[in-house]
Amino acid sequence: MQNPAYATTNVATRPRPDATPRAAHNALASILTPADIVLDLDVATKKRAFDEIARFVSTRHALLAEDVRASLVEREKIGSTALGHGIAIPHARVPGLSQPVAAFVRLKISVPFDAPDGKPVSDMLVLLVPEDATDAHLQLLAEVAEMFCDRPFRERLRACGHATEVHAVLTRSQQR
């Protein structure tokens, strides 16, 4: 059973003057590479997106795809990980994982995701953490969620056409 304290809160409604915290960019840069980015994933449902994400992440990080998929599905049962504005941050604790793992996935066509604003999701930042995730992992999740609340940040991200550009925006390795 997942820990309810790990549930994502809807931070999309909280204004923040600087919605791209430096700590989140630095922490994300330590676990996300351009090879962890998938653009134009062609799926029609959230279930299929989770299936493909699990397959991708399991191949990249030597995990069992079923463990990744089941963990994402179980977490989603607690409540949608969609933030609104076409963004979701599917996240879960995964058995056998020793270090956090991240992947960014852009769907070819937006899919329904039970978002608070009712909009379908096209961009997902997937965060997977060990079963004994620490407060630092929870802080990363909160900071990443806040990053996506910034409209100019989302626009810069959506303007990217290549994995290296997406990586640069997500990790702030390029100037605004």
Q: Convert the pLDDT of each residue in 25-60 to its tens digit.
A: 578 999 999 999 999 999 999 999 999 999 999 999
> What CA–CA distance (Å, rounded) separates 71 from 80?
14
> What CA–CA distance (Å, rounded) separates 47 from 56?
14
Output the pLDDT for position 137: 81
> What CA–CA distance (Å, rounded) separates 54 from 36?
12
Mean local confidence (pLDDT), 102-114: 97
Residue (of 59, 8, 68) closest to 35 by Cα position = 59
Q: Which CATH architecture has domain 18-171?
A: 3-Layer(aba) Sandwich (3.40)
Stated length of the chain = 176
Taking the model in full, what pTM does it have?
Answer: 0.83
Which single residue is written with the structure tokens 């979701």? 88
Residue 91 annotated to the active site: yes
> What CA–CA distance (Å, rounded) separates 140 from 138?
5
Mean local confidence (pLDDT), 76-80: 96
One of 25, 61, 85, 91 is an active-site residue; which one? 91
Mean local confidence (pLDDT), 102-110: 98
Does pLDDT of 17 surpass 60? Answer: no
